[in-house]
Amino acid sequence: MPTIFDNLKLGNLTLPNRIIMAPLTRMRSKQPGNIPWELNATYYAQRASAGFILTEATQVSQQGQGYPGTPGIHSKEQVQGWKLVTDAVHKNGGHIFLQLWHVGRISHSSHQPNNSLPVAPSAIAAKNSGTFTADWKPTAILTPRALEASELPGIIQDYVNAAKNAKDAGFDGVEVHMANGYLLDEFLQDGSNKRTDEFGGSIQNRVKFPMQVLDAVINVFGKDRVGVRLSPYGTFNDMSDSNPIELFTHVIDQLNQRQIAFLDMIEPRATSAGGGDDVNENAPSTTKLFRKKFKGIFISAGGYKTEDAKKAIETDEVDAVAFGRIFIANPDLPKRIKNNAPLNPYNRATFYGGNEKGYTDYPALS
């Protein structure tokens, strides 16, 4: 029977445990330039005892940015900043993967090159969704501009450049973000993709562009160092699909053909994606629906308590569990779980933006 503290083979990496640090947007990059710096290096190094770390979502281009203070991986300065982070994590014995991100329609003109409109598969605004302008003012989501098919190869190239930069920055691998209503998820789901060309309509067509991105990233890093994040049934950022089981079964079939290192799937019970603490226990279980369909390492995230995670691993429901909020508040989370030690409570008010407070000042066990 596997336990949460057993090693796990991920490609040619051996992870020391199955407690993963989930990707967590914190909006604390150095400005101007969205550059990772010493504060970020300290934060990630504190959490290096995770099986491996998935970084906060990181934009592959300026067009891919949707929130202020989020880091990029498209300039030399950003690559050097991330090198501080990977060096610090590796020095502490950890593994770290970068999450590659293009937000698509979940942006604002103030983040875009030349103050242009955000882009998406179709010109459909996300209802009941918002972001912040570049100067941190809350704002509603704009109606995006639909991408021309001729623009898609350029976005694929942005992902290629980002993956190469991640390699140069010393990351152990990358995760392609296809979840939570951002660009690649917008292409997948028919609530946001109303295209009539080869990238819209049928499931096969809607999956085409995200898989082209994935193939391009695999060509840089190799399949053993690439994972994917998906969020079936997630409603964050106004997402929906008319047939989620058929869609995501097809997506997983495509991932199996590519033999990627891992699939990181978000439980829809935690669909607010960091926006709140509510857990909808009546939501479908993506683990139950899709775990057996994927042939590689299956990581589950969203609303797990430590005891639930242990049980899910011991009963082979999942291979590993990614923790978010409690990893923010407990830099030594694996040690605390092992010792049944109490957990620091997290302070939601300090999740996004700011400085050391609520970031690097949570205490570890003495």
Chain Cα centroid distance, residue 362 = 23
pLDDT at site 137 = 97
**Contact status, residue 235 vs residue 271, Cβ threshold 8 Å:** yes
pLDDT at site 63 = 98
**What are the residue boundaries of the structural domains of the chain, listed by start?**
8-350
Nearest to 324 by CA among 275, 283, 284: 275
Which runs of consecutive H residues, i.e. helices, occur in the chain? 38-46, 76-91, 152-168, 183-188, 203-221, 244-258, 286-290, 306-314, 325-329, 333-338
pLDDT at site 275 = 55
Write down the CATH superfamily of domain 8-350.
Aldolase class I (3.20.20.70)
For helices 152-168 and 76-91, give the axis angle rounded to 10 degrees.
Answer: 40
List per-residue pLDDT tens for the chain, 366 residues long.
999 999 999 999 999 999 999 999 999 999 999 999 999 999 999 999 999 999 999 999 999 999 999 999 999 999 999 999 999 999 999 999 999 999 999 999 999 999 999 999 999 999 988 999 999 999 999 999 999 999 999 999 999 999 999 999 999 999 999 999 999 999 999 999 999 999 999 999 999 999 999 999 999 999 999 999 999 999 999 999 999 999 999 999 999 999 999 999 999 987 655 556 666 667 789 999 999 999 999 999 999 999 999 999 999 999 999 999 999 999 999 999 999 999 999 999 999 999 999 999 999 998
Question: 42 is written with which tokens?
Answer: 């300290």
pLDDT at site 207 = 99
User: The tokens 């030399």 sit on which residue?
Assistant: 76
pLDDT at site 128 = 85
Active site (catalytic) residues: 182
Nearest to 266 by CA among 241, 296, 319, 229: 229
pLDDT at site 220 = 98
DSSP 314-342: HTTS-SEEEE-HHHHH-TTHHHHHHTTPP
The 3-state DSSP class for residue 92 equals: coil
**Contact status, residue 159 vs residue 60, Cβ threshold 8 Å:** yes
pTM above 0.95, yes or no: yes
